[in-house]
Amino acid sequence: MKPTSVIALIAILIFYSTPASAQKIGTEPEFGVIQKKELAQATYEQYPGAEAVVLFNYGACVLTQKFVSYRRHKRIKILTKEGYELGNGMIPLLEMKTDDRLLSFKAVTYNLVDDKIHASPLPETSSFKNEVNDNIKMMRFAMPDVREGSIIEIYYEVGNSTPSNWRFQESIPTLVSNYTLSIALNVDFNYIVQGYHRPEIVDDFDNHNGVECRAVNLVMKDVPAFESESFMGRPDDYISEARFYITALKFEGEKSTLFWTSPIKEWTDVPGIYDYNQFTDGYVNNILFLADVTAEVIKNCQTPEEKIMAIHRYVQSHYSWNQKNRIYSSNLKKAHAAKEGSTADINLTLLAMLRYAGVMAEPVLISTKDHGMLRPDMTSMDQFNRVIVQTSMNGRSVFLDATDKYLPYNYLPLQSSALLGYVASHTHQGWAELHDLSKTTVSITAELTVTPEGKLVGTLTIDKNGHEAAEGRRDYKELGADGYISKHFKTDDIEIKNAIFASPENLQENFKETYTIEASAREGAAAFGTMYINPLLMGRLDENPYRETERKYPLDLSFAKVVNYHAKITLPQGYSVDELPQAKLAVLPDNAGKFLYNAATPKPTEITLTCQLALHKSYFLQTEYPHLREFINVVIAKQTEHIVIKKEQ
């Protein structure tokens, strides 16, 4: 798939609209003005079975050169006991160059008691702060006296440092969601609306404390609850939400300290901004020592490919990742001495060493899966949270990330396995589709003999590369041999007599497991001279993981994968094959997947089986889902068939 195709794919998840020029939509209710009929209402016809309903959710953000405020006013109607947990709320507070200030906060639970409205304000002792990450703290609170029929009302205002995104859709239905963003005219900004629900939009002007502002008012009504689906990746990428981003600051005189972001108007601005912030004189001085390190690492390398592999291996083994995703490194020399660092520390060391070795290498900015899908239509540096490296081997682009100690150079860690990255280089800048250089493969070989008692005895060899090998090595390192076997053989049908693990630490070799095993044919069949054998002892699907009959959202399977199974089964003396499953070939549209099954009897006393299940891509659109689901049904039907052998009369 070309980068332009991936960009087009992402674009279908974003709603574009033409704002109307009109008055602001809707009027915000006054805090504390509750109607008895709202408290008495027990159900909502349009949302039967809902545990709670958001009656309204109003928000407003005002942003000028010297002042930023964000406020929210929300009411939730509790309908069932399952909705009680919605009485536990939270307020995110940024703590960066300018800490958020909680300017105002009030919260009340209302109940109808003896036909009178009873208000229970939130006590001051019922809230506390806890840290989410380096930049965000969360103020959490628990509402009092929450019961079936309660209405919870919350209002707060904070000083904030960037335009706040607005989420229209929640885990419960919402009757009205209304957000207004007002930004001074000397700040250029833009926004996108993602998801499948259309808002009403008014793009106009207003005035705050004498400052002329552009004001965008977005409203959604009767928004259904968001329901997650299996294999959907990050749900936040699909929920209905407005995202705002600054594209330019046009202040006269001193720059406002309220803005810590780096605004960009076009993606072509990225290399300049990244160079300015990262490749400073201090950076250059701090990487000079890597010239000697690089020379030592590549002293026996003859080709660029050998240099790439040797440098990746060195950086990967030298560093331990501190679990922090960053696009900038402040001091590579310090991180190298500590042998620990962020993604930027590790991968910018990799970048510098490749360049010292005379290998073309460029930084690529990405967004990890837990940070969110990149939106090419949203020009914002804030979308990026990780830097990796692009180079070339034998004429092919290769993307490198040395943070995972268990992955060879030709595979990206799963957190880096995004659809797109931006090459932040003046010579090679632009969007690039990320991919592994090699495909993850699992090859299983079974050499089995059927005993007259109905046992299958022999050896089972499992050969893994790529992400499967990385998981195997990680489990083997952390759990040991016995723990590994317990985790990966969760069946009583196979008894492990002996196990040998080859190359558990050599990343340049496949991770290989060889087992001496004993398994059973269908229980009780041997006593009647008939045995039912499923030769697929490993790697078969017994149930379809794709259970939804329909999907709203794409599937993210993390990585493409091929599973090969080869078996040779020797029959006991006096037995012959009575029934053999027919061969099967199934292919997904556009060759996205392939299934091959072929059982044969090259000798009267021998059965061979070849089975391959390949998914050649990891990302499937919801429109492709019916084909994938039916494809897997075909696989399961064939893989669960038995070979029947009978004792000769």
Q: What is the pLDDT of residue 97?
A: 44
Q: What span, in angstroms and rounded, lies between the C-alpha atoms of 371 and 366?
A: 10
Q: Give residues with Cβ within 8 angstroms of 178, minimum separation 6.
A: 25, 26, 28, 56, 57, 58, 59, 217, 218, 219
Please give the CATH architecture assigned to the domain spanning 18-258.
Sandwich (2.60)
| Mean pLDDT, residues 107-135 | 82
Q: What is the pLDDT of residue 259?
A: 52
Instruction: Give the mean pLDDT of the chain.
Output: 88
- The 3 state secondary structure assigned to 194-219 is ECCCCCEEEEEEEEECCEEEEEEEEE
Q: Determine the Cα–Cα distance for residues 53 and 175; give it in Å rounded to an integer.
A: 7
Distance CA 119, CA 138 (A): 26
Per-residue confidence (pLDDT) for residue 131, from 0 to 100: 60
- Of 197, 150, 207, nearest to 173 by C-alpha is 197
The sheet with strand 211-223 has its strands ordered as 116-121, 101-113, 151-159, 68-78, 52-63, 174-184, 211-223, 200-208
- Does residue 361 carry a pLDDT above 70? yes
Residue 328 has pLDDT above 60, yes or no: yes
Query: Any idea which residue has 């090459």 for tokens?
Result: 423
Percent of the chain with pLDDT over 70: 90
pLDDT at 17: 47
Strand partners, 644: 532, 579
pLDDT one-digit tens code per residue, 427-471: 889 999 988 888 899 999 999 999 988 889 999 999 999 999 999
What distance in Å separates the CA atoms of residue 474 and residue 471, rounded to the nearest whole number?
5
Q: Considering only CA atoms, which of 474, 368, 476 is closest in space to residue 414?
A: 368
In the chain, domain spans: 18-258, 268-433, 440-647
How much is the pLDDT for 523? 45
Q: What's the average model confidence in pLDDT over 194-221? A: 92
User: Domain 440-647, CATH 2.60.120.1130 — does that match?
Assistant: yes
Query: Would you state the pLDDT for residue 285?
Result: 80
Instruction: Read off the tokens for 494.
Output: 């196979």
The answer to which of 162-166, 407-411, 429-433, 473-477 has the lowest mean pLDDT is 162-166
Position 282 confidence tier, pLDDT thresholds 50, 70, 90: confident
Torsion 77-78-83-84 (CA) sign: positive
| Predicted pLDDT at 35 | 93
Q: What pLDDT shows up at residue 614?
A: 97
What is the amino acid identity at position 482?
Answer: D
589 CB-near residues (< 8 Å, 6+ apart): 624, 627
Least confident of 115-124, 147-156, 248-257, 292-301: 248-257
Mean pLDDT computed over 201-209: 91
| Model pLDDT for residues 302-320, shown as the tens digit of each residue | 999 999 999 999 999 999 9
- Which pLDDT does position 21 carry in this prediction? 46
Token reading at 339:
């042998």
Query: pLDDT digit string (tens) for 493-526?
Result: 788 999 999 988 889 899 999 999 998 876 445 5
How much is the pLDDT for 249?
78
Residue 359, pLDDT score: 96
Give the residue with greater pLDDT, 386 vs 528: 386
C-alpha torsion sign, points 11, 13, 18, 23: negative
Q: Which is it for the CA torsion 256, 261, 267, 271, positive or negative? A: positive
The predicted-structure confidence for 575-615, as pLDDT tens digits, reads as follows 999 999 999 999 999 999 999 999 999 999 999 999 999 99
Which residues 6+ apart lie within 8 Å of 226 measured at CB?
Answer: 169, 170, 171, 235, 238, 239, 240
Question: What mean pLDDT comes out for the span 31-40?
Answer: 95
Q: Which fold has domain 268-433?
A: C8orf32 fold (3.10.620)
The answer to whether 229 touches 551, Cβ cutoff 8 Å, is yes
Task: Give 93-105 pLDDT, tens digit per residue.
Answer: 755 444 557 788 9
DSSP secondary-structure letter at 268? Answer: G
Backbone angles phi, psi at 82, to 5 degrees: -65, -20
pLDDT of residue 140: 86
Under the banding of pLDDT at 50, 70 and 90, the label for residue 554 is very high
pLDDT of residue 143: 93
Q: Higher pLDDT residue, 284 or 325? A: 325
